[in-house]
């Protein structure tokens, strides 16, 4: 395997890890309004339980995005430049959403005031819904191809990105992350929270599996290769397993199934691209490929050595974090809210 192909595979793995791990973070954020309803007496404690399920790991999960983006920039500069210019507005909205979510999570407990917590919860939800949809839209457009000219410049507009296939990709990631998050909450909580999360996951499982199946089959028929049918089959089996496991309230197996289904979907997108990295709908001669966008051999060698040294460290540390914070949480374990009172500006 050439270093260029190797780094294409590495980038695919990095983004797969990001979607699998950050996917349930987005799911938990989107579920704040459903599993932590304000109409319930313990609504605030339920929302704090939801945040505590991802509290020790959510920022570590984002590292996979930073690493994937950095690797993309260093290994395939041409791919990075064209894709980021084409997706400038969607990626800007994703960035804003991620920033708002970070601020809301970190500052929610700083002020002991219901209005403050409401705005923070709104920010957490907003910063979860926007990326959950737009990541699917963006990656579907990468597979479908974009209007790119001979200079590898994007010649389309924003609404060119809102085509039926891309919108289906957005619906797929949205539903997949919602289900993934509900299963994760069921896996990490006890008591009524666990029961509610199991019920929510079971209700979401069938529509998620149907939408994902349509998206995968469309991808295979329109952009896939003969050998990528194997990936479709694996993802489909995982989706069926998800439906069965959520119905049986076996959240452990359901979580394994959602992880495999999401990983299979991302793998299908990258496999459908190969050996291109960004097809041109203007003329196939203008396609961005692994060969015409990769960095120098020397650069890739240095990157390979750095990855060989640092990747095991990152994986070991993150695995240790998940192991340390493996126990279930319940509403009964949540103490009263603390923090500074909201200061009034009146005299």
Handedness of CA 67, 30, 198, 242 (dihedral sign): negative
Rounded-to-integer distance, Cα 123 and Cα 103, Å: 8
Q: What is the mean pLDDT of residues 71-100?
A: 93
Tokens representing residue 299 in the block: 């650069």
Encode 227-247: b = buried (16+ Cβ within 10 Å), e = exposed: ebeebbebbbebbebbbebbe
Tokens representing residue 203 in the block: 């209700």
Residue 218 belongs to some domain of the structure:
no
Condensed to tens digits (0 to 9), the pLDDT of residues 222-250 reads 999 999 999 999 999 999 999 999 999 99
The answer, yes or no, to whether residue 37 has pLDDT greater than 80, is no
Rounded-to-integer distance, Cα 27 and Cα 181, Å: 4
Work out the angle at residue 331's Cα, subtended by the Cα atoms of residues 50 and 118, and round it to the nearest 5 degrees: 50
The answer, yes or no, to whether residue 204 has pLDDT greater than 80, is yes
The answer, yes or no, to whether residue 336 has pLDDT greater than 90, is no
Encode 43-80: b = buried (16+ Cβ within 10 Å), e = exposed: ebbbbbbbbbbbeebbebbbbbbebbbebbebbbebbb
Q: What is the mean pLDDT of residues 30-46?
A: 80
Q: What is the mean pLDDT of residues 165-179?
A: 97
Q: How confident is the model at residue 339 (pLDDT cuts 50, 70, 90)?
A: low
CA atoms within 13 A on the CB side of 269: 30
The answer, yes or no, to whether residue 71 has pLDDT greater than 60, is yes
Rounded-to-integer distance, Cα 144 and Cα 62, Å: 26
Rounded-to-integer distance, Cα 282 and Cα 219, Å: 20
Residue 139 belongs to some domain of the structure:
yes
The answer, yes or no, to whether residue 40 has pLDDT greater than 80, is no
Q: How confident is the model at residue 38 (pLDDT cuts 50, 70, 90)?
A: low
Q: How confident is the model at residue 343 (pLDDT cuts 50, 70, 90)?
A: low
Work out the angle at residue 319's Cα, subtended by the Cα atoms of residues 315 and 320, and round it to the nearest 5 degrees: 120
Condensed to tens digits (0 to 9), the pLDDT of residues 174-203 reads 999 999 999 999 999 999 899 999 999 999
Residue 91 belongs to some domain of the structure:
yes
Rounded-to-integer distance, Cα 29 and Cα 44, Å: 14
The pLDDT value recorded for residue 344 is 47
The answer, yes or no, to whether residue 345 has pLDDT greater than 50, is no
The pLDDT value recorded for residue 330 is 86
Q: How confident is the model at residue 59 (pLDDT cuts 50, 70, 90)?
A: confident
Condensed to tens digits (0 to 9), the pLDDT of residues 237-296 reads 999 999 999 999 999 999 999 999 999 999 999 999 999 999 999 999 999 999 999 999
Residue 250 belongs to some domain of the structure:
no
* Contact yes or no for 54/25 (Cβ under 8 A): yes
The pLDDT value recorded for residue 34 is 87
Residue 253 belongs to some domain of the structure:
no
The pLDDT value recorded for residue 208 is 97
Domains in the chain, number = 1
* Contact yes or no for 319/22 (Cβ under 8 A): no
Condensed to tens digits (0 to 9), the pLDDT of residues 304-332 reads 999 999 889 888 988 998 999 889 988 88
Q: How confident is the model at residue 159 (pLDDT cuts 50, 70, 90)?
A: confident
Residue 127 belongs to some domain of the structure:
yes
Backbone angles phi, psi at 147, to 5 degrees: -70, 100
Q: Which structural domain range is residue 168 located in?
A: 3-202+279-332
Burial class (CB in 10 A: 0-12, 13-18, 19+), 23: buried
Rounded-to-integer distance, Cα 112 and Cα 339, Å: 5
Rounded-to-integer distance, Cα 193 and Cα 268, Å: 34
Beta carbons within 8 Å of 216's beta carbon, 6+ residues apart: 232, 235, 236, 265, 268
Residue 248 belongs to some domain of the structure:
no
Residue 7 belongs to some domain of the structure:
yes
Look at 21-25, 61-65, 336-340 and tell me which has the smallest mean pLDDT: 336-340
The answer, yes or no, to whether residue 340 has pLDDT greater than 80, is no
Rounded-to-integer distance, Cα 159 and Cα 146, Å: 12
The pLDDT value recorded for residue 347 is 39
The answer, yes or no, to whether residue 122 has pLDDT greater than 90, is yes
Mean per-residue pLDDT of the chain: 91
The answer, yes or no, to whether residue 3 has pLDDT greater than 70, is yes
Length of the chain: 347
Nearest to residue 176, comparing CAs of 260, 98, 237, 116? 260
Q: How confident is the model at residue 42 (pLDDT cuts 50, 70, 90)?
A: confident
């Amino acid at each position: 395997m050439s270093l260029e192909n190797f780094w294409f595979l590495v980038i695919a793995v990095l983004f797969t890890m990001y979607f699998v791990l950050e996917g349930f973070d987005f799911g938990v954020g989107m579920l704040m309004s459903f599993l932590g309803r304000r109409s319930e007496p313990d609504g605030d404690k339920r929302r704090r339980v939801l945040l505590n399920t991802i509290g020790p790991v959510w920022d570590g999960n984002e590292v996979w995005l930073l690493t994937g983006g950095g690797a993309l920039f260093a290994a395939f500069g041409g791919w990075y430049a064209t894709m980021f210019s084409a997706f400038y507005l969607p990626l800007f909205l994703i960035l804003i959403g991620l920033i708002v979510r970070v601020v809301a999570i970190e500052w929610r407990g700083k002020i002991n005031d219901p209005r403050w917590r409401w705005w923070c919860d709104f920010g957490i939800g907003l910063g979860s819904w926007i990326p959950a949809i737009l990541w699917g839209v963006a990656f579907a457009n990468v597979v479908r191809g974009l209007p790119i000219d001979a200079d590898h410049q994007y010649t389309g507009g924003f609404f060119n990105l809102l085509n039926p296939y891309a919108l289906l990709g957005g619906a797929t990631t949205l539903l997949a992350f919602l289900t993934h998050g509900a299963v994760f909450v069921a896996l990490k909580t006890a008591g009524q929270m666990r029961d509610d999360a199991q019920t929510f996951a079971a209700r979401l499982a069938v529509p998620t599996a149907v939408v994902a199946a349509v998206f995968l089959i469309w991808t295979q028929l329109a952009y896939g290769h003969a050998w990528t049918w194997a990936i479709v089959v694996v993802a489909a089996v995982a989706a069926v397993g998800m439906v069965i496991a959520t119905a049986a309230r076996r959240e452990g197996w359901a979580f394994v199934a959602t992880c495999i289904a999401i990983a299979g979907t991302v793998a299908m997108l990258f496999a459908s691209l190969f050996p291109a990295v960004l097809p041109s709908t203007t003329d196939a001669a203008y396609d961005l490929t692994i060969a015409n966008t990769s960095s120098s051999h020397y650069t890739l060698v240095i990157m390979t050595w750095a990855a060989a040294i640092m990747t095991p460290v990152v994986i070991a540390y993150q695995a240790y974090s998940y192991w340390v914070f493996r126990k279930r949480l319940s509403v009964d374990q949540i103490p009263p809210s603390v923090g500074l009172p909201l200061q009034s500006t009146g005299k």
